[in-house]
Amino acid sequence: MSSAATRVDGALNQEGPATTALVPPPKLRRRPALVAAAIGAICIGALLAGWAWTATTNTQEVLVARHSIERGSVIEADDLARVQLSADPAFKPVSAAELDRVVGQRAAMDISSGGMLTPGAFTAEVVPGAGDSVVGVALTPAQAPGLALRYGDKVRVVVTPAQGDDLPAGTPLSNDATIVGVHTSDETGQTVVDLLVPKADAAVLATRIATGNIALVLDSRER
C-alpha cells in the first residue's frame, strides 16, 4: 500500500500544478434602439442649446404698458416701462429708445397692462382738429348711462325740463357728440366727459350744459 501511494504521489508531483483554462470575455450585444435614443437625445440637446443661445442674443429693450391704457388717452412717461424681451421682429416692437417720441401722443387703441407697444398703438392726431371743439360736462349718476363710457363712444346731449316744468313739446333738443375723454372729479365724484363737437355747435351745447338740465344718451357702439 505504501509503495503504490508513493508512486501515485510521485506521478502527481511530476505533472506539476493544474492549469486553469482562459474563458473568453462575453460578446457585447448591440442594442440599436438604445443607440438611436442616445443620438436623438444628443440632437435634441443641441437644438435646445441653439434655441437658448438665439433667444438670449436676440433680446431687445422695448416699451410695454405698466397698466391698461384706454384708447384716446394721452400717453405719459409713467404709463410705460422698459423691458428686455425676445420679440418677433414681425411685430415691429417700439424700441425703448423711442420713449420721448411716444410720450405725449394718444393711444390709438386699448393697450392692456403688460402689452407691447407697436407703431400702430399710438397716434399724433391732434384733438380737437380743425373745425372741431371740445366741450366738457360734469354728470351726476342720474344724468349718465349706467355703462362705463369710453373714448370714441357716440353720444347725444339731450335737453331735459327743469324741475317743475313740463316736458318740451315735440322732439327734445339734442346735440350729437363723440367722447374724447372720461375721468372722475376728485372734488365732486362726478363723471367728467369731454365731448368733441363741430365748432359751430360748441357755444349752444355749452349753454345747455350750463343749465344742468341735460342727460347724456349713449348710442350704438356697432361700427
Q: What is the pLDDT of residues 50-77, one digit of tens each?
A: 655 555 556 788 999 999 998 888 899 9
Query: Which residue's entry shows cell 372722475?
Result: 184
Kindly state whether residues 115 and 145 are assigned to the same domain: no
pLDDT of residue 27: 57
Q: Which of 123, 149, 176 delimits the end of a domain?
A: 123
Q: Has residue 51 been placed in a domain?
A: no
Kindly state whether residues 139 and 115 are assigned to the same domain: no
CATH of the domain at 66: 3.90.1210.10
The string over 99-121, giving b where at least 16 C-beta atoms fall within 10 Å of a residue's C-beta and e elsewhere, is: beebbeebbbbbbeeeebbbeeb
pTM greater than the 0.85 cutoff:
no
Q: Which of 82, 105, 123 delimits the end of a domain?
A: 123
Q: Please say whether the dihedral angle defined by the alpha carbons of residues 163, 168, 173 and 174, taken in this order, is positive or negative.
A: positive
Say if residues 69 and 110 touch (Cβ distance below 8 Å). Answer: yes
Q: Which amino acid is at 27?
A: K
pLDDT of residue 12: 47
Q: Has residue 80 been placed in a domain?
A: yes
Kindly state whether residues 102 and 175 are assigned to the same domain: no
Kindly state whether residues 157 and 210 are assigned to the same domain: yes
Q: Name all contacts of 171-178 with Cβ < 8 Å and 24+ positions apart.
A: 173/208, 174/217, 175/201, 175/204, 175/205, 175/208, 177/135, 177/205, 178/152, 178/153, 178/154
pLDDT of 10-22, one tens digit each?
544 555 555 555 6
Range of the domain at 191: 132-218
Which residues of the chain, if any, have pLDDT below 70? 1-36, 38, 40, 46, 49-58, 87-89, 164, 166-171
Q: Which amino acid is at 219?
A: D
Q: Name all contacts of 32-38 with Cβ < 8 Å and 24+ positions apart.
A: none
What does residue 62 show for φ and ψ, rounded to 5 degrees?
Answer: -125, 170
